[in-house]
Amino acid sequence: MKKITFCIVLFQLSLFAQDMDEMMNQFSEGNDFEVEATYKSTWLVLSQTNETQNAKDLNFWIAHRFGDIGGEFGGSSTLYGLDVATDLYIGFDYGITDHLTVGIGRSKYNETYNGLIKYKLLRQSDKMPVSVTLFDQLAWITREEFSNNEFNQESDRISNFFQAVITRKFSPGLSLMLSPGLLMRPDAQLLSAEDQNNLFALSMGGRLKLFKRISLLVDYTLVEGLGREANEELYNPLGIGIEFETGGHVFSLNFQNSQYIIANNFIPNTSKSWTDGGVRFGFAISRNFSLGKKKNN
């Protein structure tokens, strides 16, 4: 009988002794926040990141690519490419919701207008290992024809690029991504008779934070059928950049072998190489405007 009494009393004591810390821990279970700020902007150097604009935010983006630093077209006569602008891009992105962004832009190259749509399909959290964002970009070449009947119909001027951006923020300082994509071009935009309409591309890259507001960016795109016959030799685009974030502004200073800024242009047409002086300097500036309040509490 003493034993039973003892057991009951012990049971009571264990209840008394329940620790406040333990109880607080029980309370805070089940909090699963989505990972945020995998990247600081919607572009890495050349490729898209998984980031979209927040709801009601408008983002203004300017990017510039200079000429070849070395080689035949570079050197001191063009001040290492700074006299030349191979491409310029001005674009606006707007967040319809926190997960859906639409944008328009215009490139100097081929006087290309583009419309884009970006949707955050999966968001990394404790339960979800990666973020996946779907990206689709339609590009429309508006320049005059170089030769008669270059573009027989308006649809010959249009190309479409679709990509699934798969990324993971491994730590506050390191995010990596792998993005398979498909570019579809009409016959009129092919570089030669043997060129392919559909090109698969696999982008890989990441961000490494060097300091709190300064990061190193790298991206590399493997393009299918590089050996395909074209007038010039084609290369896989590689971009390396440094990104500065100053609260609302993002600056990126970068180097890349691709002359062009949007994927529809750089995936099929990158004809410069890092090895023979075809690398160029470029920069991008973005400014974020909040057009509305996020939530009414």
Partner 1 sequence: MIFKNRYHIGILRISFLLKIFCACIILNASQSKAQFLQSKSGNITFFSEAPIENIEASSNSVIALINSENGEIAIKVFLRSFEFEKALMQEHFNENYVESDKYPSANFKGEIVDFKGLSKLQKKEFSIKGFLDLHGVKKERTVIAKLVELNNGNLQLQSNFKIACKDHDIKIPKILWKNIAEEIEVSLVIPLKPKEL
Nearer to partner 1, 133 or 163 (CB): 133
Q: Is 24 in the site for partner 1 (CB under 8 A)?
A: yes
| CA-wise closest residue to 45 among 277, 268, 258 | 258
Minimum Å gap between C-beta 39 and partner 1 is: 11
Residues 140-199 that bind partner 1 (CB under 8 A): 171-172
> Smaller CB distance to partner 1: residue 115 or 292?
292
d(CA 114, CA 203): 20
Interface residue with partner 1 among 3, 17, 33, 146 (CB under 8 A) is: 33
- Answer whether 250's CB lies under 8 Å from 41's CB: yes
Q: Rounded distance, CA 79 to CA 247, Å?
A: 33
Residue 221 Cβ vs partner 1, minimum distance, rounded to whole Å: 27
- Token pair 């035949």 in the structure block, residue: 72
* Plot region of 265 (φ>0 → left; ψ -120 to 50 → alpha; else → beta): alpha
Based on the shown chain and the rule CB under 8 A, indicate whether residue 16 belongs to the binding site for partner 1: yes
- How crowded is residue 83: how many other Cβ atoms within 10 Å of its Cβ? 11
From 9-17, 129-137, 189-197, 265-273, give the range in contact with partner 1 by CB under 8 A: 9-17
Q: How far is the CB of 56 from partner 1 (least distance, A)?
A: 8
Give the interface size with partner 1 as a residue count (CB under 8 A): 36
Angstrom distance (rounded) from CA 33 to CA 12: 37
Residue type, 33: F
| Smallest separation, CB 54 to partner 1 (Å) | 3
What is the token pair recorded at 131? 């973020």
CB of 239 to partner 1, least distance (A): 23
Show the binding pattern over residues 234-253: x = contacts partner 1 (CB under 8 A), - = does not.
Answer: ------------xxx-----
273-292: contacts with partner 1 (CB under 8 A): 288, 290
For 203, the 3-state DSSP assignment is strand
What do you get for the CA distance between the two ends of the chain, in Å?
Answer: 60
Provide the minimum distance between the beta carbon of 265 and partner 1 in the complex, in angstroms, as a whole number. Answer: 30
Based on CB atoms, which residue is closest to partner 1, 27 or 146?
Answer: 27
Name the token pair of 93: 């992105």
- Site membership for partner 1, residue 5 (CB under 8 A): yes
Using the contact rule CB under 8 A, the part of the chain among 29-37, 181-189, 192-200, 267-275 near partner 1 is: 29-37
Q: What is the DSSP string of 64-116?
A: EEEEESSTTT-SGGGTTTTT-EEEEEEEEEEESSSSEEEEEEEETGGGEEEEE
Selection from 206, 138, 107, 117 nearest residue 166 by Cα? 206
Tell the smallest beta-carbon distance from residue 207 to partner 1 (Å). Answer: 12
Contact residues: partner 1, CB under 8 A: 1, 4-5, 8-9, 11-12, 15-16, 20-21, 23-24, 27-28, 31, 33, 36-37, 54-55, 57, 98, 171-172, 212-213, 246-248, 288, 290, 293-295, 297
